[in-house]
Every structure is written in structure tokens, then in C-alpha cells.
Amino acid sequence: MEMQNIIDLSLGVAMAITGWFAREMWSAVKELKLDLSKLREDLPSTYIFKDDYRSDMRDIKDMLNKIFDKLDGKQDK
């Protein structure tokens, strides 16, 4: 009968540890879901879209090309 008590006690401790670990994992997953939803909300306001970046860079390159063309025309000979 004493062996049965030891087995019951060890299984009880193992199940308690497993339960604690599962609870910690569950709360971590919930926290990650909240962080992910906040990131989805904040990301568009913090960073720009690739298409917007490309159009802005195209405008800047066009302006630089105009400046370089004017400098080439004013070059001293």
C-alpha cells in the first residue's frame, strides 16, 4: 500500500506541474495575441506602404535629374 501512495503522490505532483505549465503557456499565448493585434493597429501608422515609398522616390529622382541637367548646361568650358 505504501508503493501506491508514492505513485499517487508523484503523479499528483507531475499533474500539478503540468497544469501550472499549461496555464503559463495559455496566458503567454493570450498576451501574444494582444501584442499582435496592437501591432496590426500601429504598424500602418508608423511605416509607409511600398507603393508610397516608390512614388516618393520616383519624384525625388526626377527632381535630381532636373538639377543635374541644369548643372550640365551651366558647366564652364
Whether residue 17 sits in one domain with residue 41: yes
Whether residue 19 sits in one domain with residue 35: yes
Number of structural domains (the chain) is 2
Q: Is the pLDDT of residue 16 over 80?
A: yes
Q: Is the pLDDT of residue 77 over 70?
A: no
3-state secondary structure of 25: helix
Q: Which pLDDT band holds residue 58 (cuts at 50, 70, 90)? A: very high
Whether residue 3 sits in one domain with residue 29: yes
pLDDT, one tens digit per residue, over 29-49 is: 999 999 999 998 888 777 788
What pTM does this model have? Answer: 0.52
Whether residue 32 sits in one domain with residue 10: yes
3-state secondary structure of 9: helix
Whether residue 30 sits in one domain with residue 59: no
What gap in Å lies between CA 18 and CA 12, rounded to an integer? Answer: 10
Q: Quick one: average pLDDT of 46-54? A: 84
Range of the domain at 14: 1-45
Please report the pLDDT score of residue 73 as a whole number.
78
Residue that has been written with the C-alpha cell 495559455 in this structure: 26
